[in-house]
Amino acid sequence: MSAHAYKKKNPVWDWLTTVDHKKIGILYLASGAFFFLLGGLEAILLRVQLLYPEFDFVGAETFNQLLTMHGTTMIFLAAMPLIFGFMNAIVPLQIGARDVAFPFVNSLGFWLFTAGGILLNLGWFLGGAPDAGWTGYAPLSTTSPGNGVDFYVLGLQISGIGTLIGGINFLVTIINMRAPGMTFMRMPLFTWSSFITSGLILFAFPALTIGLALLMFDRLFGSQFFAAEAGGNPIIYEHLFWIFGHPEVYILVLPAFGMFSEIIATFARKRLFGYSAMVFATALIGFLGFMVWVHHMFTVGLGPIANSIFAVATMLIAVPTGVKIFNWLFTMWGGKVSFPTANLFAVGFIPSFVLGGMTGVMLSVPPADYQYHDSYFVVAHFHYVIVGGVVFGLFAGMYYWWPKIFGTVLNEFLGKLHFWLFFIGFHLTFFPMHFLGLMGMPRRVYTYLSGQSLDEANFAATMGAFLMGLATIIMVWNIIQTSVKGKKAGNDPWDGRTLEWAIASPAPEYNFAQTPLVRGLDAWWLEKRAGNKAMVAAEPLDDIHMPDSSILPLVLSLGLFIAALAAIYSNWIIAIGGLVITAAAMILRSVIDYHGYHIHKEDLPAEGREGK
Amino acid sequence: MKRWRNVWRFLPLLSVIALALTGCGNEQLTAMLPKGEGAEMQFNLMMLSLYIMIGVFVVVALIYTVVLVRFRRRGESDNEIPEQTEGNVVLEILWTVVPIILLLILAVPTVMTTFALDEGTEKVPEGATVIKVTAHQYWWEFEYPDLEVKTSQDLYIPTGERVYFELVSKDVTHSFWVPTLGGKMDTNTATTNKMWLNAQEPGTYYGKCAELCGPSHALMDFKVIAQEKEDFEAWAEKMKEAGSQAASDQAAQGEEIFANSCIGCHAVGSEGGNTGPNLTNFGDREKVAGILDHTDQNIKDWISNPSEFKPGNNMPAFGDQLNDEELDALVVYLQGLKVEE
């Protein structure tokens, strides 16, 4: 590794001010992991309360807060940041770039997410967390007493801005910064998925922001958008929420699909089957994802015409998704498949997600949905696709890319233990829930009455949750152990196919000493099969220009955090003060000239050689 | 040994299925044993979609099993690089077109049934029973405008005909669900929804609220009491005529307490307020407040402190205002409010 001609930094200051996509990736991954554990704890508490009928472990009000925070935390504070963490850590490496298009904005996105996440959870300490469900339907959310829902409305708006600018950043990065020779149809599938996901973010998040803003106005400023007595209509909120909410679930799952495409191909030692079809299917899923939101509202009473149109549109999404499943299977067909933990999760994902997809098609039938909707059948369905799809993807990605990010390898034995316990626990928890729903158990209920035949399945579900908890503890132990004394990794521990494996583990500060020349799909695999030890360089060795780090993203986010907290308590002076801090940070960023710094070519490895 | 890994994978699944399929649920609550015309139509569509999807799953599972068994890497020393197949256009077409055909098979009956379930709701057929349902936090109000009957919690309907509902909510969005008879429909604050249910045989069916509406969302149960047409009409007549009735001195004492403390919110017959449930036939009710067994002690406990049983509900506690003797009298009065034998 080379020495750099820049001042030694205090590590705390370094991490608070970094604009390096690799460090921001680690920040996102660490925060996302923390919130995943928090959301998991909330889930365990929910399941303990549902262990027995009419059980009295947590009361009704606390249960509603737990269920709201479990969903909100898992989706917005765990899954999304973990996805952004991987996108940050890996996408620039996969396209042969040195960073994302807008490093400052990248950091800003992370700090905004952090501010929003903290604000959301402050409710626990300040009189009650939000309790109107992660969907926050009016009029329950507008009339819910106390400040709980205010934390939801403002926390999500702030972290939502972070997500939106993150999406924009990746769109520009992928369009503008691909290495020479990397056409769109030579991009790895994870990059493609990140690209399409970023497009979804761009168009979906504004709808959420509007819905939340209207909620905020009703709660904080006395407007009546959702008050029937005043001529308002809560259904508008439902539309706005789901116009965001449905694309959101594709925002969650498409990156996971991208990860699986890389992992399955790598561990089958075979290129991805049907690359063009996979790209096209991903794009189609993303596009169709905007056309189906009313399937969350079949029972709202919009009428048979609306319900039928959206039913057919929803069924259509099954087609490209099925195409992907078959292409993954046929990638492995004829291959030489090995099963390190990353591939265990990838292979375990296939039947699990297909089950979730099956119930998705069942749910797309409005008359049947009139029974399933808001029952445990839906809870079963979405956990099958989110846990079986997104969470398995995140676990797989973690085991797969850990070496590239941290330079060590996670312990295989603990990894396999994690997989099996989690897999068994997952099915044990969520499979019975299909039947609970059909047997008449609504969702979001803090208890169920005895004598309604709901006891055994609930008990089994809770046992599964304990198993998943145990599996997670083992995973955390693996992470801690590996961080303290993990086995060092080479640059290419899995005989990988894509560019990130062509450089050292962990990647050097500048990623590529010389931008690589890409000669085809699976660029690194191509070079290796041609007998080369490194990528061909696309440019001569030269000084590398790096962006300056900055404390302003943190300050900007802090200002918004202060403003939001003050607004919740109607302290308008402090609220405006917070906005002034944010504005000041924006002005400073605009007027100060940031020249960056250079890493001199003398400090880089010898010309033409990448990595070690 | 390695081949059995695939079977192992399905073992937890199978054991869970065995566990969960202990019967199809409670006969009065489960959607899997339909007792209504709508629920039957819905169950048939559920089965159609399930069978189609099981067919897809079987195909996936077969390919999956072959892949895991036949194409494993045989140990660290197996270093052969497999053929890097780009793809296969015929296969891509096959697994695009076949699912589309399967979905068409599902889509046609889906759309037909969606319209069938909406039949008659805009212009209700002549002579049909129409019921206005108003959902509250946390109870259900039922009004029969043509029969001049108002009641709550226990919903009486005639069997063998489609009964039409107009659904609305007073405070937040709730959802009206009787799984054995048919699917649910949300009760909104700003619009009125319409649906029908048709109970095929007499019986008591459980109803649930199916939209998060506050802390006691889980406790908003109601009952549907389906009766033969003549019995239902007799019930409706008696309800229309019914009013306050006190058959004993203690009941009369209770009636007086009711008039002082309760009548502002609760009506008996046509006398009284409507912020709380109508109590005309309270003595006939299946449950107290929808969830408690209908015993004297439970009635007393409920009136003394409703929030203990339904957190967040709007009925104030009367435990401080009424002493034990007054509560006993009130209970006797309330238990006497019957129209059935």
Residue-wise DSSP of A304-318: HHHHHHHHHHHHHHH
* Structure confidence at residue A611 as a pLDDT band (50, 70, 90): very low
The minimum CA-CA distance between A572 and chain B, rounded to whole Å, is: 30
Whether A400 is covered by a domain: the verdict is yes
Residues A420/A421/A425/A426 CA torsion (nearest 10 deg): -50
Structure tokens at A471: 């599996």
Per-residue pLDDT of A150-205, as tens digits, reads 999 999 999 999 999 999 999 999 999 999 999 999 999 999 999 999 999 999 99
Tokens matching residue A84: 């952004």
Residues 290-319 on B with a CB inside 8 Å of A are 291, 311-312
Token pair 């926390």 in the structure block, residue:
A155
Q: Tokens for A188? A: 């790895």
Residue A586 lies in a domain: no
Q: What is the pLDDT of residues A508-522, one digit of tens each?
A: 999 999 999 999 999
Which tens digit of pLDDT belongs to each residue from B46-98?
999 999 999 999 999 999 999 999 999 998 888 899 999 999 999 999 999 99
Contact B25 A369 (CB under 8 A): no
Cβ under 8 Å to A: B residues 79-98? 80-88, 91-92, 95-96
According to the 3-state scheme, what is the secondary structure of A144-202?
A: CCCCHHHHHHHHHHHHHHHHHHHHHHHHHHHHHCCCCCCCHHHCCHHHHHHHHHHHHHH
Looking at the partner chain, which of B78, B85, B182 has a beta carbon nearest the beta carbon of A336?
Answer: B78
Q: Which residues span the domain enclosing A509?
A: 2-550+594-608
A583 domain residue, yes or no: no
B99 touches chain A (CB under 8 A): yes
Nearest CA in chain A to B291: A449
Which residues does residue A599 pair with via DSSP β-bridges, in sequence order?
Answer: A544
For residue A3, pLDDT over 80 is answered with: no
Domain count of the fold of chain A? 1
Residue A562 is assigned to a structural domain of this protein: no
In a domain, A388, yes or no: yes
| Touching A: B residues 227-286, CB under 8 Å | none
Mutation for A interface: B6, B8, B19, B223, most A CBs within 10 A: B19
User: Do B263 and B334 contact (CB within 8 A), yes or no?
Assistant: no
Rounded alpha-carbon distances, angstroms, from residue A262 to A97, A328, A342, A406: 19, 10, 11, 19
Residue pLDDT, tens place only, A411-437: 999 999 999 999 999 999 999 999 999
Contacts of B186 in chain A (CB under 8 A): 299-301
Strands A487-488 and A408-409: antiparallel
Domain membership of residue A162 (yes or no) is yes
pLDDT in tens, A557-588: 999 999 999 999 999 999 999 999 999 999 99
Whether A443 maps to a domain, the answer reads yes
Complete DSSP assignment for B9-64? HHHHHHHHHHHHTSSS--TTT-TTS--BHHHHHHHHHHHHHHHHHHHHHHHHHHHH
Q: Which residue has the tokens 């001569």?
A: A540
Of B71, B92, B110, the CB nearest to A334: B71
**What CATH number did the domain enclosing A413 receive?**
1.20.210.10
> How far is residue A22's CA from residue A596's CA, in Å, rounded to a whole number?
17
Contact between B178 and B224 under an 8 Å Cβ cutoff? The reply is yes
For residue B123, the distance in angstroms to the closest alpha carbon of chain A comes to 14
Query: Is residue B329 predicted with pLDDT exceeding 90?
Result: yes
Give the pLDDT mean for B113-138.
96
Of B25, B52, B175, the CB nearest to A374: B175
Cα–Cα separations (whole angstroms), residue A3 to A6, A188, A488, A537: 9, 31, 20, 22
pTM: 0.95
Q: Under a CB-based contact definition with an 8 Å cutoff, are residues B285 and B294 in contact?
A: yes
Give the angle subtended at the CA of A362 by the CAs of B14 and A78, to the nearest 5°. 75
Q: Does the beta-carbon distance from B57 to A307 stay under 8 Å?
A: no
Quick one: average pLDDT of A528-537?
95
Confidence (pLDDT) at A341: 98
Is A588 a member of any domain?
no
- Between chains, do A446 and B215 touch, taking CB under 8 Å as contact? yes
Q: Look at residue B126 in the predicted model and tell me its pLDDT.
A: 93
